[in-house]
Structure 1
Amino acid sequence: MTKQQLFEQIQKKRSFLCVGLDSSLDKIPKHLLKYENPILEFNKQIIDATKDLCVAYKPNTAFYECYGKKGWETLIDTWKYIPKDIFSIADAKRGDIGNTSAMYAETFFNEASSEMSFDSVTVAPYMGSDSVTPFLTFKDKWVILLALTSNSGHADFQLQKIGEDKLFEKVLKTSQTWATKEQMMYVVGATRGAAFGDVRKLAPDHFLLVPGVGAQGGDLNEVCKYGLNAQCGLLINSSRGIIYAGQGEDFAEKARAEALKLQKEMEQILEKAGLV
């Protein structure tokens, strides 16, 4: 999916919501355990209930890899179930020496070999350019690079100064020499609200994947105040706050209700900004 196509989806749905599919057997509604593949059934019902309200889905691969062969098959089947006009993110946080990253890229982008072809994959930049560039060889596929995260330990490294720049600023500056804004996004956590101004000084036109709205306490309006750009430029992720909104047989309806709340807020923000 191209940057323009993503923006068109945002305009069409009046939403920049990403639903995180961090699906776990110990958290999904108990009545689903009777199914042969409870997590896949859960994911399908969540997707069916929210697909008109969101522009992206983001399975966190750890929640599938931990179940071995069956979990990997569930990830593949979940990707296949995501409508193809919705942006798909493999939240895998990969990044290794070049030939290893090339295999990771094959895993998430080459359907002929892996049965999956996500639109994007999250990548850790710590090992530098040669750990990232193999992902960039696939046409219309995206790298979503970790920049400024929402976890409590982010300051251990990301805020450390290297010369005049903090490490996350160095990541933003340097990585823009590896790819254009048509193929690279950045992860910036919603709990870092005011820092979006600093990010936008360095990456004004890039899309940002923003976890932390909802269960982690990030403020949507603050993020948009500093982070919105001329093509929206934000994918706001909510995982637990949507998918675990209910535990009964009406869990999908409860998930939809939470997604709808966010979509309506986003619609107002887009209208106010003149983007729809």
Structure 2
Amino acid sequence: MTTEFLVNQIKQKKSFLCVGLDTDLDKIPPHLLEEEDPIFAFNKAIIEATHDICVAYKPNIAFYEAYGLAGWQSLEKTMEYLNENHPEIFTIADAKRGDIGNTSTRYAKAFFETLNFDSITVAPYMGKDSVEPFLAFEDKHTILLALTSNAGAFDFQTKMLDNKELYKEVILTSSQYKNSQNLMYVIGATKASYLKEIREIIPNNFFLVPGVGAQGGSLEEVCRYGMNDEVGLLINSSRGILYASQNEEFAQSARKEALRLQKQMEKFLEK
């Protein structure tokens, strides 16, 4: 998917909402456990309830790998369903891969070709030759971990390196990589005050922003400091939408929560 197509979807739907499909068998409504594939049954219901008010879905790969082959098959079915029924939706493999050379290329082929994701999250610690293999795939996007929303982000990401915070060096250096126009960046909503300076470094790239809602991030602050002329934001919500209800009306409850966020986003887009 091209960036232009994604921007058009945002404008049409008046939404830059990403729904995180972090599907946990311990949290889904109990009646679904009777299904042949409870994970896929849950995902399908969430997708059908929210696809018209979000522009992206982000399966967290760990939630599928945890169940072995059965979990991986659920992920495959989820992606097949999305690509066949809602090809306009931007898909993110939240895999946080990061290795060098041929290994990165194989990771990229697994998610971009075999599973047909539009993008993947990547850890940049190993540098250029761990990122550029992902960037070599046409119309696919690499989402680099830059400044995350977890407490441990301060262990390394904000440390000073030659009078510059490490996360800024990561962003600046990666912006020079080959095909860097296909880079997006993970910037946590709980770090919203950092967004203004980050936008000065990379004015045109999209930010994937987790941490709004359950982790306490402010949508208003993220939009104020992070939005650009092409919106440039994907706001992820996982638990707040997925587990809004444990009863048989869970999909409707998920839609209600997603719609609440979308209506807030629409106001910021109008501004």
Task: Name the TM-score class by shorter chain.
Answer: over 0.9
Superposed, 1:223-238 pairs within 5 Å as: 223-238=222-237
Question: Residue 55 of structure 1 aligns with which residue?
Answer: 55
Q: Per the alignment, do residues 180 and 200 of structure 1 end up closer, same or farther by CA in structure 2, a change over 3 Å counting?
A: farther
Question: Residue 102 of structure 2 aligns with which residue?
Answer: 99
SS in 2 for 1:186: strand
Q: Deviation at 1:182?
A: 3.4
Q: Per the alignment, do residues 134 and 234 of structure 1 end up closer, same or farther by CA in structure 2, a change over 3 Å counting?
A: same
Q: Deviation at 1:214?
A: 1.1
1:19 aligns with 2:22: no
The one-character-per-residue Cα deviations of 1:104-155 (angstroms, maximum 9, x if unpaired) are: 0011011xxx3x1100000000000000111111110000000000001000
SS in 1 for 2:120: strand
Q: Per the alignment, do residues 181 and 129 of structure 1 end up closer, same or farther by CA in structure 2, a change over 3 Å counting?
A: closer
SS in 2 for 1:146: strand
Question: Residue 68 of structure 2 aligns with which residue?
Answer: 68
Q: Deviation at 1:157?
A: 0.3
What is the distance in 1 between the residues matched to 2:179 and 2:169? 16
What is the distance in 2 between the residues matched to 1:139 and 1:214? 33
Tell me the TM-score normalized by structure 2: 0.97
Q: Give 1:94's aligned amino acid.
A: R
Across the aligned residues of Structure 1 and Structure 2, the Cα RMSD in angstroms comes to: 0.8
Q: Give 2:229's aligned amino acid.
A: A
**Runs (4+) of structure 1 moved beyond 2 Å?**
179-182
The one-character-per-residue Cα deviations of 1:175-208 (angstroms, maximum 9, x if unpaired) are: 0111456311000000011111121111111100
Question: Residue 133 of structure 2 aligns with which residue?
Answer: 134
Question: Residue 125 of structure 1 aligns with which residue?
Answer: 124
What is the distance in 2 between the residues matched to 1:227 and 1:39? 34
Superposed, 1:185-204 pairs within 5 Å as: 185-204=184-203
Identical positions, percent? 60
Superposed, 1:154-169 pairs within 5 Å as: 154-169=153-168
Q: Name which of structure 1's ranges 43-52 and 130-139 shifts more when overlaid on structure 2.
A: 130-139
SS in 2 for 1:100: helix
1:84 aligns with 2:83: no
SS in 1 for 2:32: helix
SS in 1 for 2:230: coil
The answer on whether the counterparts of 2:157 and 2:166 sit within 8 Å (CA) in structure 1 is yes
SS in 1 for 2:42: helix
SS in 2 for 1:152: coil
What is the distance in 2 between the residues matched to 1:142 and 1:169? 20
SS in 2 for 1:93: strand
In structure 2, list runs of 5 or more residues that go unmatched: none
What is the distance in 1 between the residues matched to 2:244 and 2:181? 34
SS in 2 for 1:88: strand
The one-character-per-residue Cα deviations of 1:49-100 (angstroms, maximum 9, x if unpaired) are: 0000000000000000111111111111111122110000000000102111
What is the distance in 2 between the residues matched to 1:15 and 1:87? 13
SS in 2 for 1:18: strand
The answer on whether the counterparts of 2:135 and 2:179 sit within 8 Å (CA) in structure 1 is no
